[in-house]
Structure 1
C-alpha cells in the first residue's frame, strides 16, 4: 500500500503511523487527531510550546508539539531543512521525530489601527508517543517510588542521549524531567531536542530578554548574559541528576537557576541521609547515589569551565555501573 508523501495518506485515504513517519503533515490533520488541540489532549507545556496527544485513524498515537506562535522559528525552507535533518537522527536515548508541519493560513488580524488579512504560520513537530509518560510524572506524580536501579539506568540513558546530541553538536536548551520520556522498559528518551537549531543559534543568543528554556533550569551565564554552549545543558543536566537521585523536586517558581534547591541538596544529602533514605540498598548502590549527587553538584558550578564535560560524566557513570 503506497503512501502519499505530501499528505501522509495511504492509497485508501487512511492515516497510519507508518505513513506519518518522516512526512510533512497537513495542519488540518494535526488539528483533527488532537481534538482541535483540546485541553483534554494536552500532555504538557514547555518552553517551546504545548504538546498534545494525537490519535491517528489506525489507532496509533503520536505526540504533537504545537510551537508557540511567538517562538523565533526559522522560516520556510530553513525550517523544513533543519527538521528533516533532525528526523534523520537515530539514537536509543533520543525520542524519534516522526513528522512535522509548517503551514500558513490567512487570518484577519488587527494591526496599526485596522484589520488586515495576514499569513499566520503554524509550526508543529510530531514525536513518537511513549505511554509510560515523562520522567517528571514517574518521579513526582505516581504513588509508587522508583527503585534505585531504575533511577540509575535513567541517569545513564539521559547522559548517553546528551552525549549523542553534543557530538553533532546540538545544544538542547530545555533539559528537564518533563522533556525526558520513558518507554515500556523505562529507557529514557530525550524529547524537544534540536529546537535551538530550528530557532537558529543567533536568535537564541541575542540577549537574556529572549531566553529560551525553563526558568528554574537555565544556566546563569545564559540567563544573565545570553551565552550558549554545551555547558548550558550540563547545568540543566546536573539539576535533573540531583532530582532523579534524591527524589526531591526542583520547584523553581521565581527562583532563577535553582539556587535554593542546589543549596538544599549540598547541605542535606550527606552519606548518613542517603543511608537513611535507602536502608535496604547495598554499599555499592549507596556509593552510586552519593557519586550521582556529587556529579550533579559539579554540573551546577557557576563558572561553566568548572563543569564536567558529558564525556567525563559518562566515564564516571560507567565506572560506577555494576554491569555496563
Structure 2
C-alpha cells in the first residue's frame, strides 16, 4: 500500500454523514456502499462490515486494496483511497460502561452513475440497441484481459453482473476484488475455501476447488449470455438439444430487433451469433476446452471489421 492512497477515517465519515442511511446507495454480503463528495468529485465509499476482532475479513480487504492499487484500466473501477483504522468506542454491557475496539476497513472508489449491471439488465428500456450490449461485453473482456496479463496475473474469481458497474456512457468497469487472487508459478491453485456466487462458478471449482484463469472465462460466458438475454437464461447444465433451441431463440430475438433498428443488420446478426457461440465455448464443462480471455477478444475483434465504430455512426 502506498501512503498517498490512505484517507483518514474521519474524512470518510464526514463525507458520508457518518455512514448514514441517507448516504447509502448499496448493500452487500461483505459491506455497504455510500455516496460522498471528496475533493470536488463524487465518490463511492465501501465500508466492510465492522467487527471487533483483527483478522476477520482482513484478507479480503487486503486482496481488494492490493490488487486495485496495481491496476489502472478504463474497464476496471478506479480505487481512489483506503482507510484501515481501529477505534475504541464506549459501549454498555450488563449495565456497565466499557470500551470496545472496532476495526474499520473502508475503500473509496470513483462514483459511477450507471449503477451495477444486475440492476440495469431487468429494465425494459435498458440498452435496446445491440451495439450498446456488444460494447458492454467487449469492455468486460478488455478489463479481464488486462487482469490476466498482469505479471503475476490477477484472477477476479467473482465475476457477475452485480460486480460490473456502468458509467454515464454505459462503459463497463469490473469491480469488487475481494475474492481476487494473484496467481504465480503454474497459474493454477487448489483451495478448500469455496467462496463466491455459485451460479457463476465453474464445475471444477465447486467440486474440487481448482482455481485457474479459466474460472473467470466460465463466469464471463454466463455474464455474456445474461447481457444478451437480460436474465440468467442459461445455467450451463442443460441438454444439447435444449442448448440449440436456446441459442436459436436468442439469435432470433436479436435479429428481429436489429432488423428494426440497425443500419448493418447482417453484420450485427453475425456478431450476435459469434457472441453466443463464444459464450458457449467459455462455459465448456472441461476447462481445457475453454478459450482464454485473449482468444475471446481476438474472436470479437474479427466481427468488427465491417461495422463502423459507434462514433462514426453518429457522424
TM-score, structure 2 normalization: 0.77
Tell me, yes or no, if structure 1 residue 267 matches structure 2 residue 251: no
**RMSD of aligned residue pairs (Cα, Å):** 3.6
Write out per-residue CA displacement over residues 87-135 of structure 1, whole angstroms, 9 at most, x where no aligned residue: 242111111111111112236899xxxx986643222221111112222
Tell me, yes or no, if structure 1 residue 90 matches structure 2 residue 68: no
Cα pair distance change 1:258/1:36, threshold 3 Å: farther
Q: Secondary structure at the match of 1:184?
A: coil
* Residue 170 (structure 1) aligned to one of 154, 160, 165: 154
Map of 1:230 onto structure 2: 213
Write out per-residue CA displacement over residues 210-262 of structure 1, whole angstroms, 9 at most, x where no aligned residue: 4332232222222232222211111111111111122x21289xxxx6647x9
Q: Secondary structure at the match of 1:284?
A: helix
Map of 1:32 onto structure 2: 14
Q: Number of residue pairs matched?
A: 286
1:1-324 equivalences under 5 Å are 22-46=4-28, 48-56=30-38, 59-68=40-49, 72-74=57-59, 79=62, 83=65, 86-106=68-88, 119-141=101-123, 143-168=125-150, 169-193=153-177, 195-197=179-181, 206-207=191-192, 210-246=193-229, 248-250=230-232, 259=237, 267-270=245-248, 271-280=251-260, 281=262, 282-321=265-304, 322-323=307-308
Cα pair distance change 1:142/1:273, threshold 3 Å: closer
1:138 Cα offset (Å)? 3.1
TM-score, structure 1 normalization: 0.75
Q: Secondary structure at the match of 1:211?
A: coil
Unaligned stretches of 5+ residues in structure 1: 7-21, 199-203
Q: Secondary structure at the match of 1:314?
A: helix
Q: Secondary structure at the match of 1:103?
A: strand
Q: Which runs of 4+ in 1 moved over 6 A?
A: 262-265
Unaligned stretches of 5+ residues in structure 2: 183-188, 310-315
Map of 2:185 onto structure 1: none
